[in-house]
Amino acid sequence: MLKVRVIPTLLWKEFGLVKGVGFDSWRRVGPVLPSIKVYNKREVDELVLVDILANSANEELDYVSVADFSQDCFVPFSVGGGIRNPNQVQRLLSAGADKVTINTAAFENPDLISAIARQHGVQCVVGSVDVRYTGNKAWRCFSHSGKTDTRKDVGEHVRQLEASGAGEILITSIDRDGTMSGYDLELIETVVNAVKIPVIASGGAGSYQDMVDAVLKTGASAVAAASIFHFTHLTPSGAKEVMQAAGIPIRKNYIKK
Amino acid sequence: MKVGIIDYGVGNLSSVKRALEEIEINTLVIDQAGQMGGADKYILPGVGNFTNCMQYLNGNGWTEAIREEVLGRKKPLLGICVGMQLLADSGTEGALMDGSTEGLGLIPGEVVAIKSLGCQSRIPHMGWNSIKIIYDCPLLKGVDEGTDFYFVHSYTFVPGMEGVVQAQTDYDVTLSAVVGRGHVWGTQFHPEKSSLAGSRILSNFVSDLC
């Protein structure tokens, strides 16, 4: 049976990990490489890495850091932030990334995702979508790290990403980001129902129960979280224990023989 | 022991190379078919689509070189993900119209869309899934029934004869997880991304057992 994944999201800026609230007020939380080593050693299911500097500056991507991360990561990881063309994707995959997350570029260049899917397969393109609630069960997509209002409705956009060839959707509520007040379950359910590809819930996890709810109440294939793992004593393996007790299939670590 | 990683122009080999180094195995990245022959065993990775991969293999002399090493010189081969699918006789992914593309023909079978088997679950089949062991083959030594591995695929290997599927996984329908025939092996999952369980598979492949 396919397991529900618990995915720590690591936002990095030069050599440090950071975390904000509502995509703002960044706090430094420690160095990147040791965190990846610890998660790898603890056999985490998967990692999502986002270079927030590449997102905001228009600089070339940090391939050297990605190559360093991959040296110590024997579980799948995706890399995002500032990706705008297929050549960059090729270089990130060569550096060891398993998937790339595309957000802003999907609005600016709708053909990018299909180009990546054609060349590398749908499994390596994650359509990342950041939204704000606009009332009446509607959410609008924001690009450029939550700064630009694209005026696009979330349902319409995720269906378009799926049609272009995204293999997975990472849906983040900007309103809940960093607040640890729980996922926006209505949002996640809307996205899960809009597409037939796996959906990763993101934004707002504050307790293990939030993760259980995201899976049981919305049908998400995976749950991503950052603050909860950075700022509290809670861990991915702790989350999986509670999820298992709630009847959710989770991956057990390999016992060496 | 030297393991040759076949670099025929698609995908990311660094994870496979790194995972082998982690268990102290010498690797040789082979990026020209003419250089085949310098390794004791081979790994055939693959991403993207079947037809695309076969075009690369056929266009640059890889197909004959691989067949010569594996069938002529009896050297063990492990295909990973699309690399495993390429071992089959044929595959429909990326083929024109309703046709299919000829594969390496090292393990009888054909590669078809998971959806075509009637699967109602979300595609791609992506994430950690447990395996059901059919045969206690050398590649699965020390790996228990129910161990989780990392899968990511939309197409699947359908065996053309009995005995070649060594392990399966369930995703609404039953999918081939490990195939093997003689000294030719394939895993649909990514051992290089399956943490310690995957490392055990790679150790088994490089051991004298396989």
| Predicted confidence (pLDDT) per residue in A84-135, tens digit | 999 999 899 989 999 999 999 999 998 999 999 988 888 899 999 999 999 9
pLDDT of residue A118: 86
Residues in chain A with CB shorter than 8 Å from the CB of B124 are 122-123, 167-168, 197-198
Per-residue pLDDT of chain A (257 residues), as tens digits, is 999 999 999 999 888 999 999 988 889 999 999 999 999 998 999 999 999 887 665 668 899 999 999 999 999 999 999 999 999 998 999 899 999 999 999 999 989 999 999 888 888 999 999 999 999 999 999 999 999 999 999 999 999 999 999 999 999 999 999 999 999 999 999 999 999 999 999 999 999 999 999 999 999 999 999 999 999 999 999 999 999 999 999 998 887 76
According to CATH, the topology of domain A5-245 is TIM Barrel (3.20.20)
Quick check: is B110 catalytic?
no
pLDDT of residue A55: 65
User: A256 CB contacts (<8 Å, ≥6 apart)?
Assistant: B196, B200
ipTM of the complex: 0.93
Phi/psi class of residue A219: alpha, beta or left (left: φ > 0; alpha: ψ in -120 to 50)?
Answer: left
Q: How many angstroms separate the CA atoms of A181 and B188, rounded?
A: 39
Cβ contact, residue pair B12, A98, below 8 Å: yes
Strands (E), B17-134: 26-30, 41-44, 77-80, 90-91, 101-102, 109-113, 125-130, 132-133
How far, CA to CA in Å, does B114 sit from each of A2, B26, B156? Answer: 15, 36, 6
Nearest to B12 among A40, A75, A94 (CB): A94
Strand order in the sheet with B2-6: B26-30, B2-6, B41-44, B77-80, B184-187, B173-181, B165-171, B132-133
Cβ contact, residue pair A93, B192, below 8 Å: no
Residues in chain A with CB shorter than 8 Å from the CB of B195 are 40, 43, 74-75, 253-254
A168: closest chain B residue by CA: B124
Quick check: is B190 catalytic?
yes
Quick check: is B81 catalytic?
yes
| Cβ proximity of A33 and A65 under 8 Å | no
Nearest to B122 among A97, A120, A221 (CB): A221
Task: Name the pairing type of β-strands B109-113 and B101-102.
Answer: unpaired
Q: How many angstroms separate the CA atoms of A54 and A202, rounded?
A: 21
**Residue A78, min C-alpha distance to chain B (Å):** 12
Q: Does domain B2-206 have CATH number 3.40.50.880?
A: yes
**Segments of chain B with pLDDT less than 50:** none
Helix (H, G, I), strand (E, B) or coil at B41: strand
The predicted model scores a pTM of 0.95
pLDDT of residue A49: 96
Nearest to B196 among A70, A221, A254 (CB): A254
Q: How many angstroms separate the CA atoms of A88 and A110, rounded?
A: 16
pLDDT of residue A102: 97
Catalytic residue among B53, B81, B137, B210: B81
Task: Name the pairing type of β-strands A125-135 and A168-173.
Answer: parallel
Closest CA to B175 of B109, B106, B104: B109
Residues in chain B with CB shorter than 8 Å from the CB of A93 are 11-12
Residue corresponding to tokens 């790898």: A40
Residues of B within an 8 Å Cβ radius of A: 11-12, 14-15, 18-19, 22, 47-49, 82, 121-130, 142, 144, 147-148, 150, 152-154, 170-171, 190, 192-200
Q: How many angstroms separate the CA atoms of A246 and A138, rounded?
A: 30
What does the domain layout of chain A look like in residue ranges?
5-245
**Residue A93, min C-alpha distance to chain B (Å):** 6
pLDDT of residue A56: 63
